[in-house]
Amino acid sequence: MTMTTNVIHDIISPQSVHLLHQHHPQSGKLPFRVAACGHYYCLNGYRVQRQGLPYRLLVMSVAGKGQITFRGQTFILNEGQVFLLDCRERHVYECIGGTWELKWIRFEESAGVDYEGLINEGKFHPVALRNPGYVEERIDLVLELVKLSGTQASDAKLAEALCGILTTLCEDKHARDTVKLSGAASSAIADSILFMESHYREPLTVNEIAKQHHLTTYAFIRAFKRRTGLTPYDYLMKLRITKARLLLEQTDLPVHEISERIGFQNVNNFIRKFKLLTQSTPLKYRRQYAE
């Protein structure tokens, strides 16, 4: 059973806003239900430590500087960054400068909806927004809607606004990961090419090579093709056929033995692939080379 902790040092300026929302009974059919939201002007000493609450928490750093600790990681929060976390897990966030302005939404997700899992992927990292103005406008809309009575219509609009915010976080997180991947992927592709050069005789698969570099198969194929112009499979086939051509030119080995030496398990498959890439059968290629 998860222990509940809710320790708050609410050191905030008087103009700060805290709003509670009682959603309509029929709103359980919506993907999201806002429970509370606010606009805080935090002062030095502001600190929140929580766990065990059945909500998601979205916080946008508007100005100043804060800090968040969640899932064993600590991050400084600057203007234009947003984080989303599961309030059932222990988390601490606080003002670490003289002031920290933030806007926040606490909400429930329906069964089967898990934007926190989609954005954080079991880890945690604040998202640096590409267009913070859009997200802040949507949060402001949530604040305005919560000031209205709890009607079905206002709850539906709240869910729509929140969905827009969370979708933007997903998009911006993907954009950040793509940029982050580019440097790592470049090194991974170079290493994978060297690996194929040394192990082309073995029964390699694209999935296995991608896993060696901690990449998904899709990301690996996409990055490899961007770097080489070929998919990893096509590159491996071209490499094997190049080796086969050298063996046909420089040795008298029979075709079936060459097929085995370059990593083909089936000689007929080797012949088909050789003809596709050279417009010649292995025996015809050998005869032409010998002439």
Q: What does the pLDDT read at residue 28?
A: 86
| Secondary structure of residue 224 in the 3-state scheme | helix
Which of 75, 79, 80, 44 is CA-nearest to residue 64? 79
Name the region of 45 (left: φ>0; alpha: ψ -120 to 50; beta: rest).
Answer: left
Cβ atoms of 116 and 125 closer than 8 Å: no
Which residues, other chains included, contact 35 with Cβ-Cβ below 8 Å and sequence gap of 6+?
20, 21, 23, 55, 106, 107, 108
Cα(129)–Cα(274) distance, rounded to whole angstroms? 50
Cβ atoms of 192 and 209 closer than 8 Å: yes
Residues forming CATH 2.60.120.280 domain(s) in the chain: 5-178
Task: State in words which class domain 5-178 has.
Answer: mainly beta
Q: For the chain, how many helices (H) and strands (E)?
A: 9, 9
Q: Which fold has domain 234-290?
A: Arc Repressor Mutant, subunit A (1.10.10)
Return per-residue pLDDT of the chain as tens, 291 residues.
567 778 888 899 999 999 999 888 888 889 999 999 999 999 999 999 999 999 999 999 999 999 999 999 999 999 999 999 999 999 999 999 889 999 999 999 998 899 999 898 888 989 999 889 999 999 999 999 998 765 666 899 999 999 999 999 988 887 666 555 566 677 888 889 989 999 999 999 999 998 888 788 888 888 888 778 889 999 999 999 999 999 999 899 999 999 999 999 899 999 999 999 999 999 999 988 766
Residues forming CATH 1.10.10.60 domain(s) in the chain: 234-290
